Amino acid sequence: MISFPNAKINLGLNIIRKREDGYHDLETCFYPLQINDVVEIIQDDRRQTIDDSNDKLVIFTSSGLTIDGDEQNNLCIKAYHLLKKDFPALPAVKMHLHKNIPMGAGLGGGSANGAYVLKLLNEKFNLQIPEQQLIQYALQLGSDCPFFIINKPCFATSRGEQMETINLNLSGYKFLIVNPQIHVSTGWAFKHIQPAVPSKSIRQIITQPFTTWKDELINDFEEAVFKQHPSIHSIKKELYTIGAVYAAMSGSGSTIFGIFKNDTVITHPFPANYLVKEIAA
C-alpha cells in the first residue's frame, strides 16, 4: 500500500508558555502544502515467525533526499512500534520512504511520514483505530504529527493536538516556497525564544483581510532564527519585494513562504542551490 505524505506551513506561530512537562503550549494555523514524500508498506510474509522482541520487525529502506541519524529514530519506524505495543498481531513489514520534503525546514516532513505510517498501518491491517485515537498516537511521535491525521486547514493549540478545522479559502492565491538548504534545529530554536501570550490570537488574525497579516501574523521563531541566519531573513524581505501579499517562516525554519495572487508572474532572484517551488494553494 502506497501513500503520499504532504508538507505543511504555519500561518502564524505563537509560543505561549513552557509547561511543567517540558513541552510548550502554542497556537498556530496549520495549512497543508502539496510537496509530497512517498511511503510504501508491504507485509513481509517470509518473516512472520520472527520473535516480536526483534528490532527488525521493520525492514526500512529509503531513497531521494539523504536521511541523517539513527534509523531506529525515524518516525516511520517509531510509528510501527508504537502500534505494535497495542496490536501484538501486527505483522512484520517492509517499508520504503522516498524523501522529497527537505528536513529541518519547518515543513513537517518527518512528522507527516510518521502520521501517514500510522494511517497506512491502520488501513492496511484493519486495526479500526478511530481518528481521535490516531491523533493521540501521533502526539507520542511529535507535536506536529497530529495535524497530519486530519490534514485540513486548522487552528491548533496546546502542543498542536487540540485542533479546530477552519474555512480558509486561498483559492485565488499561490505559494512560493523557498528553502536555502539550512538545517535549523527545533530544539535550538525553542531555547532562543521567550514564551508570551500574544495581544491578539492567531484565530482572530487569520479571519482578517490578508492585507493585515503582514503586520499582525507573526512567527515567534523568526527573531532568533533571522539573527542566527541573516540569509533566511533576506529571503522573506525579497518575497515582499517581488510581490508577495504575505511572507513568513514556517515552523522553526528554515523555509520561507510567500503568498501571491494567482495572476502574479513570479520572477525570483534566489540562488540555484536553493529549493524553490511554486505551488497552488
At 86, the amino acid letter reads D
Element (H, E) at 235: helix 230-241
Q: Is 215 annotated in the active site? A: no
Which distant-in-sequence residues (6+ apart) come within 8 Å of 152 by Cβ?
32, 165
Q: By the 8 A CB rule, do 208 and 168 touch?
A: no
Q: By the 8 A CB rule, do 52 and 84 touch?
A: yes
Q: Is 144 annotated in the active site? A: yes
Q: How far apart are CA 228 and CA 222, in angstroms?
A: 10
* Catalytic pick among 8, 119, 174, 236: 8
Instruction: Classify 108 in phi/psi space as left (phi over 0), alpha (psi -120 to 50) or beta.
Output: left
Q: What is residue 275's three-state secondary structure? A: strand
Closest CA to 14 of 175, 185, 155, 178: 155
Q: By the 8 A CB rule, do 62 and 5 touch?
A: no
Taking the CB of residue 147, how many other CB atoms lie within 10 A of it? 27
Q: How far apart are CA 226 and CA 184, in angstroms?
A: 11
* Catalytic pick among 78, 119, 144, 174: 144
Q: Look at the block and give the residue holding cell 531506529.
A: 72
Q: How far apart are CA 143 and CA 157, in angstroms?
A: 10
For residue 50, give the DSSP letter.
S
Q: How far apart are CA 228 and CA 184, in angstroms?
A: 10
Catalytic residues: 8, 144
